Each structure stands twice: as structure tokens, then as C-alpha cells.
Structure 1
Amino acid sequence: MGSHNFSENYLLLRPEEVSLWHLFGFLLNHDLAQKAFVEYPTGKEENLQRRGLIFISLFGQKVLQHLAKPIACFGSAFEMWMNLLSCNGNFFGLLLHALQNKVIVPERTSEMFLSSVGHLDKRKQLDNKISHGDRRYYAMLCAMASKLSYENRAVVETTVQNCWKMELLGYYNFWNDFQRKFTTQGFIFHDKTADPDLVIVAFRGTELFDADAWCTDIDISWYELPGMGKIHGGFMKALGLLVNQGWRKEIEPQETDEYPVAYYIIREKLRTLLNENSRTKFILTGHSLGGALAILFPAILALHEETLLLKRLEGVYTFGQPRVGDVEFKKFMNKQMDKYDFKYLRFVYCNDIIPRLPSDDSTFLFKHFGTCLYFNSCYQGKIVEEEPHKNYISVLATIPRILIAFWELLRSFILPYKEGQEYYESCWLKLVRIVGLVLPGLAAHNPQDYVNLSRLGSPSIYVKLQEYSIEV
């Protein structure tokens, strides 16, 4: 207890330290609150007031931990099946190749092997109708980078260098010091054709079959940092928070050689790159969990008073990003954006459930901030303070969401004829649309829709941003 001296107030959940038997006892026995699986500072017993939510979070993490290997095995087999079908044409092509003993089996580390996200949307080329100078360019580039972040090194390298004609500066698997595992990844690339030239850092979101990443999402641990407010603990751990040390300002290079943590690795890379060219700026981006890491990164830079880096930050572009902190954190970040003059654009597509979590209510007290660009199912955008039905749970929105899910399924057949074959949706994606009839909020979280809104969204919304004095 009390080992987290970098934060005077926190709630830390340790699912690996509790059995399911003791977890159920936690609901009834207040003494169990002192067990190792729930940690908080002495005198802060009020942190346990939401005992039911703590139970749900711990129970969900325990279940995911028990199912991690089966989920990973199923995911590995499922993705191999998707790639076998893709590389051999289709099911009948695979069958024919099997009869001829000519089945193409892609290597998992090859440029041919796509993730499940990659199979839902196979587009690799940037939109050639959106070039430098177009107000949509940064949004389109970041949406594509966020989607690409789910792929292996070979796919990322081939796409960035051969398709985008840009330079890949680094591809990383990042260590989570609390889970003692590699739980996320990201890459850095250089767009030298921009003026000024740009370095883009893209964080990966939650992989469908990665139980550890899902544990990060449902972990309701939080830390209150001086002057910053309460911040989502699961996201901070994924970004590089160190056990019992917090956010050390500096870290020895050899400490991250074997176990690279996202914040320190990327910060050091940016220091080097930006020192080489005084005009180079950088952008942070990500989808889902990746978006949360993208906006937390400048927060820790501000904590460490990294003035030179913050002055070179062009902006943060996130897609389907969950909430990351409370109202005090919102105030802190608004001050940083004003002080260092960087923009933060938060893209939300229609009924996506993830931007509406954790709840903005008396339970979690989490708040969104920045500029929200909300797009409906026709990819028509508007600037709003908060997305409609901000906490997702709404009786009035249930029927409209189901109707929109039907429209999205129908739209998947119409869009290629209206906008071109690059908007063709695969059978896998149509299957997701069908699932969306039951779970519209999850189906709407697909990166494919965020790529579409960055291309098909009206340029007028970016003109309005300039009216708000937000440069794009």
C-alpha cells in the first residue's frame, strides 16, 4: 500500500492478485478492500464507493486473463483462414489450389499477411484526390495511418515506403510494465513532401483478439496527478507508466532496450528528429485505444515541461477515441493547447460506442475536450461540443440506431457504385454490418468508416474550423 508515491490519490486494480472466490466476497466484505487486488492511499476509502463497478472491471479482467490463450489461438487461426482465402482468390480458389497441391500459405511476418482490421478494409493507397494544401489532407493521412497501425512491420513498411512514398522511421511493440507484457504497438513515419515536413506518430488501437489490450480498456484504475486531475489508469499503463515509479522525467536508454515503453521511446525519437531540422513538426494520431494514447502523450510532455517538443506539435488527430480523464484534466489540457497552440481534433463517427465510454456522469466523471468533428452515417460532418447521446445508453436512441445499422448494411452495396470501387466493402465487412444490427455501437467503431469520413466528409467542415480559429 502507498507505494505509488508519484500520486497522492489513486485507485489501482490488480486482477492478477485476486481469485474469483475472493472477488465475489469483495462485494460484501469491506475488510477485503485492504487486499492487494484493490490499492488506494490510506485515508482514501471513498475510492471504494463504486464497489459494483470495481467488481465488474476486476471480473471482466479475470475472465479475459483466463481466456487470453484460447482467444489468441482462435484469433490466430481465424486470421490465417482470412489470409488463406485472400491469397488463394476465394474459397473455391483455395479448394482448387488444395486439389492441385498449390496452396499459397502466407508467412505471418510477410507483407501479404493482413490483420482482421486489414481484411475489413484493404485500402493502402492515400486518396489521390486529396493532396497537400487540401484542408482534409492531415485527417485523411492520419485516418489511414491509424488503420495501418494494426498491421505487422512488413505491411507497414511496404505501405509507407512503396505506396505513400514516405520514410518509415520506426516500428515498435511497446511494453506494459504493469501487465508485464507487450500490449500495444505503433510506428513513426516522415512526410517530407509536406510544408513544413511532418513526422507522424501512429498508435495502434485494441486488437480484436488481444485479451491484454481489452483488459487495458476495461481497467477502471485511475491516478490523480498534481494540477492535472484524474486520468484513466489503464491507458496510462499502456503509454508507459512505470510500476511504483510513475512518470520519471528521464530514463536510462538501457532500461528500455529489452522492454521498450511507448512514451520514453517515442519522446527520445522525436527529440532526435526535431533537433535535426528546426522546421519539422509532428502529429500524434490513433484509433480507439490508440487515440487515447495519442492525446495522453502531450499531457505527459507537459508534466515533464518538454517545451521544445510541445512547441513543435502540429496537432493530435484521434478517431473513435474513449474518454481519458476528468473535468480537471480537461481544464489542464485546454490550458496546454492554448499555451503551445496545437490543435486537437477528435473524430466521431455516428453511433460508435467507444467515444461514449467511460461515461460522462456521476459514476466516472470523465469528460471529453478538444474539438469534436461528428459525422453521421452519410458522412456529413459538423463541429459539436459533444457527440449526440454522449453516454450511449439512451432509450430514445435505440430504435434510430438499429435503423441506421440497416442503412449502413444497405449503404455497403450502394457506396461502390456511387463513389467508386475503392469503397467496395468485403464480405467480412458486410458480416460486421449484419452483426451491427444487434450491436450497432460496436460495428460503427470500425476504422473503415473513419477512413471514409476523412475522404467523403464535406470540406466545408474544415472551413468552419478556421472560423473557430483552428488551423488545419
Structure 2
Amino acid sequence: MVMASSTGIQGDDFRYLIVRPDKGGIWDVLKYSLRGDIECGSKFLESSDQGVVGGEAAEHRWIILVSIVARRIIHFLGKPMELTGYGVDFFLNLLSQNGSLFGLFYNLLRGDIVIPKRGTETFISTIGHLDERMDLYQAKNLVGDLHNSNPGEGIKNVELDDRATMDLCMMASKLAYENAEVVRNVVDHHWKMHFVDFYDCWDGPFLFNGALIPFVIGNHFIDYQKKKSTQVFLLCDKPKDATLILISFRGTEPFDADDWSTDFDYSWYEIPNLGKLHMGFLEALGVGNREDTASFHYHLQKRSTKHGYPEAAEVESSNEGPHSERSAGIDKKGIPPEMVEMSAYYMVREKLKTLFEEHKNAKYIVTGHSLGGALAILFPIVLVLHEETNLLQKLLGVYTFGQPRVGNKQLGRFMEAHLNHPVPKYFRVVYCNDLVPRLPYDDKTFLYKHFGVCLYYNSCYIEQKMDEEPNKNYFGITHMIPEHLIAIWELIRSLTMGYTHGPEYKEGWFCIFLRVLGLSMPGIAAHCSVNYVNSVRLGKSYVLPLRIFSCQ
């Protein structure tokens, strides 16, 4: 297979490493952790190169162990988490739609209780209840600038570092956690913009003879059409002659075990001359599946047909590579059109092309919080691989909030030319001790590295531009005491925000309850979207303070 020369992606040497927490037993975990037994550790690893397994198991033992143990625990708690999520969602909506706990009892006595209905515009997610704000910061100024833009000139009044633009991105990232009806209502009626569509996509397609099918591996029946786990919505600033299109990916849902397991996954897929990418995030974007690693090889190459799929010659030549045995079943006519309706990447890309036919001078921003941030930055990375030059020229910027690491240092260097020149287009916002941006683990020799401009906000909402957030790995004895002291400060601050900054910053009982829980695990509470909304709206540029106490 020969990749696009302009991107410098050539060759057949696609490599991968998959961490499989279920392949070994408890004794294997103990021997690997206590005695450093490489043979036991290797049971949990699968690779394209057997030499990689032994080296990774030895060099990165503790990091792989964290991935194995964390994902086994998350898997064990998966069903209880799901049931708890359903219960919490229903209870919070039951309270809000009946006007509080007192209102619920009053309606119950009257026999007029309001029962929440999922999927309606009044059913709000757990994330939405943590921060009930829906309106944009300086909405009139932002919408006015966009609506008053000359259709023939495109965007002139919107700057990437503008606070109102950042707030639009963060609020859209938060809104992505809601159902389609809530999203439509907020975009059309609160923001006075134009809702385009909401997509619910499948995770990691499996290809066989050009079709998506269930299949059997050993004694396990695997059906990758059983769960839609990637959500994304699009909006325009106005229905006609739009100047701005925004794409927002949904992030890690608090009670979704699969999302948290993906964040703790260490598996990677390497593309020659590009670098290593997080395999779980590629699956969530819909461009491959670890049960058929040839699918990554197939999707991450230049497209040349009408629908953006490989021509027969490309597929045939790709089948001659190291994955030829597993790629042989792929139809030489390419992926069927149904794939576009199932893969987040293809669905968003094709919709973008349609929108640009209607809005000739529009540009677009991609955004997301948590896992959604990872998908937001992976989207232009795959566009570069596919040589989608027209779409890349229309890219105004990428804003991510609390985003985990998506690849290695080589990937960052490769993307610098596409996202940082002539001006920075990729901004990665991190709040204080948020755990998720510190995942997967990173050290001097480890592969996962951040890139792009980091906008770091401390617990006093002071903004600093840097290459990497402080305490880049979160876990560590030296940081444990400061993290818990800051969590106590954040709890105290939450009780006073309504008085010190105004009623819109007042935190409800549910958010305060989360901060109380966060005293034991500060990084989880810090990941909450309310911190990012406050940081964007209240953030101040860093200056050297002449004071005894300073925030961290």
C-alpha cells in the first residue's frame, strides 16, 4: 500500500499493540506486579510484532498494570454503573420536572406527579444537572457578529482566542451529552442558531465481504452493531449563508463503563511516518476495530472514489501487506453506503461536504469535552490522512476541554504543520487537577504525549499558555496533599460562587455533592464541565502576583 505522498504517509509497516485485560487471571496480574513476571504480563498483550510484547511488558510494567487493573474493575462495575446511571438520571429529572423535592411530595399528594420521559426536550442528562446553564456568554455579541457577516466574505469578526467563541465551544461540548431534542431546543431557541443534525453512531465497524456482520471468535459471539456509543451534533450560525459550522462530539459519560475503559486503555495503532494513535479512540471515531486490525489498515489510507472509499486497486494492493490474510475478505468495491450511517467519521465528513455546498464561505470548528475532545482532534488527523484538502482549508480551529492524550510525540510533530501554521488552530483547555488530560500515563520514554497549545486554568481561574499542564501524570505522593487541599478549597468556593460572582454561577446541591465526593478523588470532580465553563467565563491572564497565597 502506498499512501499520499504529500502527507508523507507511505509503506506497509503498520504496527499495533492491544492490551486485553481479560486474557489472564488474577494470579497472572499478581505475578506480573509483584515479581515482574514478563511471561504472565505478556498474556495480556497482543501485537503485530512479538518482539514488541516482551519489550512493552518489561519497560512499561506499572503503566500496563494500571490499564489492566483499572479496566478489569470498570468492567466488573459496568452493569451496576449502567443501572445507577439510569436511576440517577430518572431521579434528577423527577425532581426538576416536579419543581424540587417539596414539589414532588406535593404533586404526589395531589395525584398529579410528572413522570420524566427519556428522549424528550425536558429530559436532561446527569451532566446537564451538574451545570444547568444553557445560554451563551455574551450571546448577543457573538450571534450578532456572525449574523452580520457578509455572506460573500465569510468569517471576519470571530477570533479563536475570543472568550465568546471559547464559551460557544465549551457550551456545545456540554450540550453534546444531551439527547437530540434537548440539543435542538437549546440551539434553535436559546442560542438563536440553526440545528443541523444529531448522530448516534456505532463503535468500531467490523468488515467482512464489504459488510458489517456479527461473528464468532472462539466461544465468544461478537456483534458490533449492538451498541451505539458515539454521539455528535452539528449546527450552523444561521440557516442560509452561514459563516460558521460547529461540530461537537459527546465525551465520557459518568456512568458509561465503556467510555471510562477507553480512557484507561493503553492500546495503540502505529502508522508509518505519522506516529502511534490511541486504538480505542480510533474505534470510537468509527475507523477500525481491534478484533479485525486490518480494518484500521483499510480505513486509514487515502480515499479516491466518489464516496471517499478506496478503489479496487488500492484494496487489492493493501491485501498484499502484512494483514493480507485478514484483509482478503474486504470487498474490492469498497465499503457499502450503510457505513456512512454508522461511522461517526464518515457521517460527519459527508455532512460537512453537503453543508459547504450550501454555505460556500463558511468555516468550521470541531470541539468536545473529555473523550469528545479526543474525537475532535482525531477528526482532522484522519482528514489529513485522507488528503481532504478542501475540508482542511475550511477548518477554523479545534477546541478541546479535558481531553485525554491521543498519540505519541511523532504524531504531534506531524500535525504541527497542519494545525499550528501559519497560526495556531488547536487549543487544548485543561482545568487544574482534572484527571482525564493526564491519561493515558506519560513519562520520559512513554509513548502518549500531548501536543497543541495548552490553555491551563488553575483553581482561581488564572489562565496560562503552556506546552504541558503541571503534574502531567496526576498520580504521585508529592502531589497528593496539594490535590486534596485544592479540592477542599473548590468545595468552599462552590458554596460562595453565587454571592461572589452572581446568580448564574451558583452551584446546585448535586454539583456540591459531587465536590464532596471529590474530596477522596479530586481529579474526578475537577473533570466536571462546570469548572470549564467557569474557567472560560471568569478566566484571567496570568501575571506574577505579589501575594503570599497563590492558587495552584
Q: Give yes or no for TM over 0.5.
A: yes
Are positions 1:235 and 2:285 aligned together?
no
2:295 is matched with 245
Name the CA shift for 1:105/1:237 in 2 (closer, same or farther; >3 Å). same
> 2:88 aligned to 55, 70, 78, which one?
78
Q: 1:61: Cα distance to partner?
A: 3.0
> 1:418 aligned to 482, 500, 511, which one?
500
1:136 is matched with 163
2:229 is matched with 183
1:117 is matched with 127
Q: 1:12: Cα distance to partner?
A: 1.7
**Is the contact between residue 317 and residue 347 of structure 1 (CA under 8 Å) also seen in structure 2?**
yes
**Is the contact between residue 497 and residue 506 of structure 2 (CA under 8 Å) also seen in structure 1?**
yes
Letter in 2 for 1:416: G
Q: Does the residue aligned with 1:131 lie in a helix, a strand or coil? A: helix
Q: Which moved more, 1:94-103 or 1:286-295?
A: 94-103
Name the CA shift for 1:378/1:394 in 2 (closer, same or farther; >3 Å). same
Q: Deviations over 1:339-380 (max 9, x none)?
A: 575611111111112112223304633211111111122212
Q: Deviations over 1:421-467 (max 9, x none)?
A: 11110100001111222221211111111111111123x58xxxxxx
Q: Distance in 2 between matches of 1:174 and 1:23?
A: 36
1:469 is matched with none
Correspondence 1:145-294 to 2 at 5 A: 145-177=172-204, 180=224, 181-192=227-238, 197-243=243-289, 244-246=294-296, 247-248=299-300, 249=303, 250-251=308-309, 252=335, 254-256=337-339, 260-294=342-376
**Is the contact between residue 87 and residue 106 of structure 1 (CA under 8 Å) also seen in structure 2?**
yes
Gaps of 5+ in 2: 1-10, 143-156, 206-222, 310-334, 543-552
Q: Distance in 2 between matches of 1:198 and 1:254?
A: 28
Q: Distance in 2 between matches of 1:438 and 1:386?
A: 25
Letter in 2 for 1:245: S
**Is the contact between residue 263 and residue 439 of structure 2 (CA under 8 Å) also seen in structure 1?**
no
Letter in 2 for 1:10: Y
Correspondence 1:368-387 to 2 at 5 A: 368-387=450-469
2:99 is matched with 89
Letter in 1 for 2:295: Q
Name the CA shift for 1:429/1:33 in 2 (closer, same or farther; >3 Å). closer
Q: Which moved more, 1:184-193 or 1:141-150?
A: 184-193
2:323 is matched with none
Q: Does the residue aligned with 1:316 lie in a helix, a strand or coil? A: strand
2:137 is matched with 127
Q: Which moved more, 1:130-139 or 1:300-309?
A: 130-139
Q: Distance in 1 between matches of 2:44 and 2:526?
A: 38
Q: 1:91: Cα distance to partner?
A: 1.6
Letter in 2 for 1:147: K
Letter in 2 for 1:254: P
**Is the contact between residue 28 and residue 41 of structure 2 (CA under 8 Å) also seen in structure 1?**
no
2:527 is matched with 445
**Is the contact between residue 364 and residue 394 of structure 2 (CA under 8 Å) also seen in structure 1?**
yes
**Is the contact between residue 311 and residue 341 of structure 1 (CA under 8 Å) also seen in structure 2?**
no
Letter in 2 for 1:214: W
Name the CA shift for 1:215/1:394 in 2 (closer, same or farther; >3 Å). closer
Letter in 2 for 1:312: K
Letter in 1 for 2:18: L
Gaps of 5+ in 1: 462-472
> 2:446 aligned to 364, 373, 376, which one?
364
Aligned length: 454
Q: Deviations over 1:185-234 (max 9, x none)?
A: 11111113999711111011110111111121111100111111111111
1:468 is matched with none
Name the CA shift for 1:434/1:295 in 2 (closer, same or farther; >3 Å). same
Q: Which moved more, 1:30-39 or 1:281-290?
A: 30-39
Are positions 1:329 and 2:335 aligned together?
no
Q: Does the residue aligned with 2:141 lie in a helix, a strand or coil? A: coil
Q: 1:391: Cα distance to partner?
A: 1.9
Q: Deviations over 1:392-428 (max 9, x none)?
A: 2344433332222222112112221222211110100
Correspondence 1:286-305 to 2 at 5 A: 286-305=368-387
> 1:433 aligned to 484, 504, 515, which one?
515
Alignment RMSD (CA, Å)? 2.7
Name the CA shift for 1:373/1:37 in 2 (closer, same or farther; >3 Å). closer
Q: Distance in 2 between matches of 1:453 and 1:56?
A: 30
1:389 is matched with 471
Letter in 2 for 1:255: E
Letter in 1 for 2:83: C
Q: Distance in 1 between matches of 2:240 and 2:482?
A: 42
> 1:38 aligned to 36, 46, 56, which one?
46
Identity within the alignment, %: 44
**Is the contact between residue 404 and residue 438 of structure 2 (CA under 8 Å) also seen in structure 1?**
yes
Q: Which moved more, 1:155-164 or 1:385-394?
A: 385-394
1:12 is matched with 18
Q: 1:131: Cα distance to partner?
A: 2.2
Q: Distance in 2 between matches of 1:213 and 1:321?
A: 13
Name the CA shift for 1:368/1:96 in 2 (closer, same or farther; >3 Å). same
The two structures have a TM-score, normalised by structure 1, of 0.88
**Structure number with larger C-alpha Rg:** 2
Name the CA shift for 1:414/1:195 in 2 (closer, same or farther; >3 Å). farther
2:536 is matched with 454
